[in-house]
């Protein structure tokens, strides 16, 4: 059963002078869940409870998202990374299993590249630790993302009309998102200004032809993945959004210790389609790899 309830106590910690919201459940081996755009720790509500039987599950809200504070910063990839790295340091987290989705996965891989000694494994889904061209972008969403990256039009669509949260998010759930769950995502962006972090992320996508600092950072992740020694669990769904057959093959050819787990029907926000399969996959993989 997929519940819309968020039965967790909210906690806060100061990172780089900013209040960061997080939830946690369980004890022992650390599993750190990192969401992407435009979600928050609510995304993991149905996955954390069963995984917490194995260890200490922590999910935090990226700066500018969910219940975390919204300081006046750039909200670009490397700015977010400072807070991710700072959160892990302030919490004193060691020997982590990272669980990442969307930009949360990319941030997790970047942390692992910089701190491989602190990682026991990574479980990921619908994320992109690689660069890509517009041709690879799903046709259904290609025009929308081109518009999101167009000056003025992008701000109007994302900040003014809240299209990313109101339209794109539910369109990226295969089974359709419940009204109650959708409201939990919508209420985190009540004003035009509050949606600025959502607007920045599409403009950070590592698309060939836009070789900025974020693109270069993700190129480093690509190279790192062929060298990393810890196990990686890749969840796949049908038809998938970012992770489709071409990239499944790329992962298989790049990562030395890779496990692939198909979770059935799903597009991008697969946690809203089949959270039970994701939780079961993490538990099975962690036990099989001797992580717990």
Could you give the residue numbers annotated as active site? 102, 126, 268
Give yes or no for a contact between 104 and 54, defined as CB atoms under 8 angstroms apart: no
Give yes or no for a contact between 44 and 33, defined as CB atoms under 8 angstroms apart: yes
Q: Give the number of other Cβ atoms within 10 Å of residue 234's Cβ.
A: 23
Going by their DSSP bridges, the two strands 18-25 and 11-15 should be labelled as antiparallel
Q: Which string of DSSP letters, residue by residue, matches 104-141? A: HHHHHHHHHHH-GGGEEEEEEES--SS-B-GGGS-HHH
Name 43's bridge partners: none
Residue with tokens 């969401």, as numbered in its chain: 35
Closest CA to 65 of 54, 57, 73: 73
Please state the separation of Cα 188 from the chain's center in Å.
17
Give me the helix-helix angle, 213-225 and 103-114, nearest 10°: 70
For residue 61, the 8-state DSSP code is P
Q: Which helix (H) or strand (E) holds 7?
A: none
Q: Which string of DSSP letters, residue by residue, matches 8-59? A: ---EEEEETTEEEEEEEE--SEEEEEE--TT--GGGGTTTHHHHTTTEEEEE
């Amino acid at each position: 059963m997929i519940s819309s309830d968020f039965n967790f106590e909210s906690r806060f910690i100061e990172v780089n002078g900013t209040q960061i919201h997080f939830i946690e459940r369980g004890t022992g081996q650390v599993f750190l869940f990192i969401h992407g755009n435009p979600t928050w720790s609510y995304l993991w509500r149905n996955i954390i409870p069963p995984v917490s039987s194995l260890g200490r599950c922590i999910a935090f809200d990226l700066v500018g998202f969910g219940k975390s504070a919204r300081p006046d910063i750039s909200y670009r990839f490397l700015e977010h990374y400072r807070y991710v790295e700072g959160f892990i340091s302030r919490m004193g987290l060691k020997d982590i299993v990272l669980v990442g989705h969307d930009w949360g996965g990319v941030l997790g891989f970047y942390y692992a590249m910089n701190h491989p000694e602190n990682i026991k494994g990574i479980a990921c889904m619908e994320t992109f630790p690689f660069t890509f061209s517009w041709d690879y972008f799903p046709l259904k969403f290609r025009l929308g993302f081109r518009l999101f990256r167009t000056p003025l039009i992008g701000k109007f669509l994302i900040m003014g009309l809240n299209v990313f949260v109101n339209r794109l998010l539910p369109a990226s759930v295969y089974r359709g998102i419940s009204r109650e769950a959708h409201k939990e995502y919508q209420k985190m962006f009540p004003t035009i200004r509050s949606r600025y972090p959502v607007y920045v992320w599409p403009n950070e996508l590592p698309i060939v032809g836009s070789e900025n600092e974020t693109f270069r950072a993700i190129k480093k992740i690509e190279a790192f993945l062929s060298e990393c020694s810890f196990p990686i669990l890749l969840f796949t769904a049908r038809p998938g959004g970012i992770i489709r057959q071409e990239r499944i093959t790329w992962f298989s050819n790049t990562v030395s210790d890779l496990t692939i787990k198909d979770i059935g029907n799903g597009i991008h926000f697969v946690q809203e389609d089949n959270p039970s399969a994701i939780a079961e996959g993490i538990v099975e993989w962690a036990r099989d790899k001797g992580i717990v």
